[in-house]
Structure 1
């Protein structure tokens, strides 16, 4: 696979895109470029598994409400559209016949406006890698069909959300936890590392809400494109200093040095390092918001860092 972005940036690669208006401190998904990087600090400790098992043991799959396809490099990949806890999922199973059970899980959370999901940009960029990499791929649409970081009742994708629109009660985090639990019941999924990816508002949601609440239950690689924030509660509901809770969790940020949310992203990096979570970052020179290939970057980051665990 040709990766000019990886060649330029060396250690981290992440990707996503969207043309939606930019809310304060929460940029929309973006486009493509390259920049400078800094490596990961800290190590990764093995965490507990489920009663001694290394995978979920699930079976049966989810029924499809619909189907679709994406084409990449002249190959067509089919996806199943399913719904769990008010979340629409586009699911691409790994290639049949050569994949040993269990499989990994990679789940991508779009930015504001959800165009990476609704226009199939995320599955087109990320599912082909998952298909040949023993990984169940899922693109997840926010319950309000607009943004993961805003409350479910905010169902308009127009206008500019504000800080008061944040899902501070954690309804979306609870929904994503139910999605993961359901997927684990329906497929035999490796306990960890799980692969999380986000762009803009998806990254804000992961760092501000989901990870602080559920990080000790769902451990793994977080590929955070053009976004990030501190925990909205001001803390984690688990202890990053305890290896049995932290497990394989590590965070990778990629962002532009002209991002309007630069202060928020850098504060997020500092906060998670303070929680003893291994963190890496890549800075894209001259990029504003998601003005680089963040969807491909997420995919490449998943691939690159799986080999180090």
Structure 2
């Protein structure tokens, strides 16, 4: 078996476990007034990865906050570190994504003709692209920008007393991801990642459903299916593309559109909205009732003042 299939499979799997442990250790959802205000100000609940998180604190809410945070970190790793060709390193390039697609297509075709020459060309091309980078390298923490970007976004849902520890653990994960990807890119086989699982589990072994750890079984009456749910990528599918065909290094992990957590979160959001509407109706009713009572006592008091001795009219 190819070296990358053996060592890479173990390393990517280990990284996935570290990422899952990170969010379960530090992501809690908002725990105080300041965090609640920050969630509302940043519009976190409106973002696609958090759109089914219930307003009130619950097991389902914490689960969806954690899984959304995991998807956020995974996306940052794939967008900023795990790129086949770092075309955005070239300054002044109008459309780096289109150039990356061209390189990927060329690399795939070249590999089918001569894998050894393709690997040499791929490694040299990456080195040339990386040499264009104008970002200053930090000797203390070269991953600081990625870590701070993630931390700023997730700060309202990180345990208030654990932000620094979260950043330290996240730095280790980003460092491991960088070293792992750098080694994989120097291999003779091409490695490819995907963050786009199907909306539903397809059973072909490429994608696995994320566990429902932390959610207690709940009985809900009626149909709570939601048609507008989409997948949530928790960890990418990693594939090695060689001369003998493609092989899975690490299966992707996702919450698919039919995940019960989405349905439970959606149900809780609807229930919270219903209770809030009832409270508002009750407040309006009590306000009108008190207003009417106060108006009805005014004429009687006025007549009492007009009678001799201030006595009420019989």
Give the TM-score, by structure 2 length.
Answer: 0.29
Greater strand share, 1 or 2? 1
Give the TM-score, by structure 1 length.
Answer: 0.29
Greater helix share, 1 or 2? 2
Higher RCO structure, 1 or 2 (CA under 8 Å, sep 6+): 1
Q: Which protein shows a greater Rg?
A: 2
